[in-house]
Amino acid sequence: MTKRILVPTDGSDYASIGVRYAVALAKRFKATLLGLHVVDIRLLEGPFLRDISASLGTAPYVNYQGNISMLLEERGQAALDAFRHSCEKADVHCETVQATGVVVRCILEKSELADMIVMGRGGEHSQWLDGLVGSTTAGVVRGAKQPVLVTGVDTPGTKRCLIAYDGSLHAKRALQAAANIAADWRLACHVLVVGDTKAAPLLDEARAYLVTHDVKAECLLRGGDPSETIVAYANECAADLLIMGAYGHTKVRELVVGSTTAYSLNHAPCPLLMSR
């Protein structure tokens, strides 16, 4: 059951989409939202300020660290004020916190007492990423113990979810999350296994688990590249939510052949919920 949702925000348009999605979820399920803004410590220390000082011909840190810190904190407070306003407008209970540190690390620390993390698909630098997710989102997905929902739309769908299942440990945890979500959110379920006939028992495995949670699912086996097949079927079945395990392979394999998680993050036509 989802009752406490962490919502990182930097005040950008993309982050605001995540805020609106989280507010809609919280209103539907009477959950509490925790809005978090992190002042990136890397902007206050080391090469960043040294480079600025060198370019201006002044001593490092003397005149700029305090001013930059104040400006970043003011920007963060503005983002949290906008978050609080969205919650109050929807009559959703919320809390806010501003922290300073390594962004991904702070988000993961604050998520330890959350049931889910909801993030917009991009951030303040998304205009330079051409629609791709940034390092913060990828880092949170890779490190979070709780399910992470990444969205590019601000309104939760109400019809169906798609579960991509490969039998891995991460996929099993995603299946557990999917069973709760499908029941709580009253979504129809599709289960997709990508592989040849040897992978067919995975369909029975997933179906049996969902049945015990009173969730009926349409199960499908398809061949092809997992990344492209999952995204294509999410389009085909008009999924409102894609649920899958996150980063199931070794880092070496991901480096050599790519990651289904990364591909889905960048190309899924709907919000993506990932579990590790």
Task: Select from 105, 123, 151 the last residue of a domain.
Answer: 151
pLDDT band at 251 (very low <50, low <70, confident <90, very high): low
Asked whether residue 129 falls in the same domain as residue 182, the answer is no
Using CA atoms, how far apart are residues 170 and 173, in angstroms rounded to an integer? Answer: 5
Asked whether residue 94 falls in the same domain as residue 165, the answer is no
- Weakest-pLDDT range from 72-81, 187-196, 245-254: 245-254
Asked whether residue 118 falls in the same domain as residue 198, the answer is no
Asked whether residue 211 falls in the same domain as residue 103, the answer is no
> Is the predicted pLDDT of residue 58 greater than 60, yes or no?
no
Asked whether residue 31 falls in the same domain as residue 57, the answer is yes
Strand 148-151 to strand 272-275: parallel, antiparallel, or no bridges (unpaired)?
antiparallel
Using CA atoms, how far apart are residues 146 and 235, in angstroms rounded to an integer? Answer: 26
> Is the predicted pLDDT of residue 176 greater than 90, yes or no?
yes
**What DSSP letter does each residue of 119-147 carry, written as one string?**
EES--TTGGGTTT---HHHHHHHHH-SS-
Asked whether residue 119 falls in the same domain as residue 53, the answer is yes
> Is the predicted pLDDT of residue 114 greater than 80, yes or no?
yes
- Weakest-pLDDT range from 87-96, 137-146, 197-206: 137-146
Task: Select from 124, 151, 178 the last residue of a domain.
Answer: 151
Using CA atoms, how far apart are residues 119 and 152, in angstroms rounded to an integer? Answer: 9
pLDDT of residue 126: 45
Asked whether residue 121 falls in the same domain as residue 189, the answer is no
Q: Show Cβ contacts of residue 13 under 8 Å, excluding neighbours closer than 6 positions.
A: none
Using CA atoms, how far apart are residues 253 and 75, in angstroms rounded to an integer? Answer: 39
Which domain, by its residues, includes 182? 160-275
Asked whether residue 44 falls in the same domain as residue 167, the answer is no
State what percent of residues in the chain have pLDDT above 70.
Answer: 83
**Residue 121 vs residue 253, higher pLDDT:** 121
> Is the predicted pLDDT of residue 179 greater than 70, yes or no?
yes
Asked whether residue 74 falls in the same domain as residue 130, the answer is yes
Asked whether residue 174 falls in the same domain as residue 87, the answer is no
Sheet holding 217-222, edge to edge: 94-101, 32-40, 4-8, 116-120, 148-151, 272-275, 241-245, 160-164, 188-194, 217-222
Q: Based on the structure, what is the number of domains in the chain?
A: 2
Tell me the two tokens of residue 82: 């906008």
> Is the predicted pLDDT of residue 205 greater than 70, yes or no?
yes
CATH number of the domain enclosing 89: 3.40.50.620
Task: Select from 107, 131, 151 the last residue of a domain.
Answer: 151
Asked whether residue 34 falls in the same domain as residue 117, the answer is yes
Decide: residue 100, CB within 10 A, 0-12 exposed, 13-18 middle, 19+ buried.
middle
Nearest Cα neighbor of 22 from 138, 125, 151, 206 is 151
Contact (Cβ atoms closer than 8 angstroms) between residue 155 and residue 52: no
Asked whether residue 123 falls in the same domain as residue 184, the answer is no
pLDDT band at 128 (very low <50, low <70, confident <90, very high): very low
| Tens-digit pLDDT profile for residues 206-231 | 999 999 999 999 999 999 999 999 99
**Residue 166 vs residue 125, higher pLDDT:** 166
Nearest Cα neighbor of 175 from 201, 149, 213 is 213
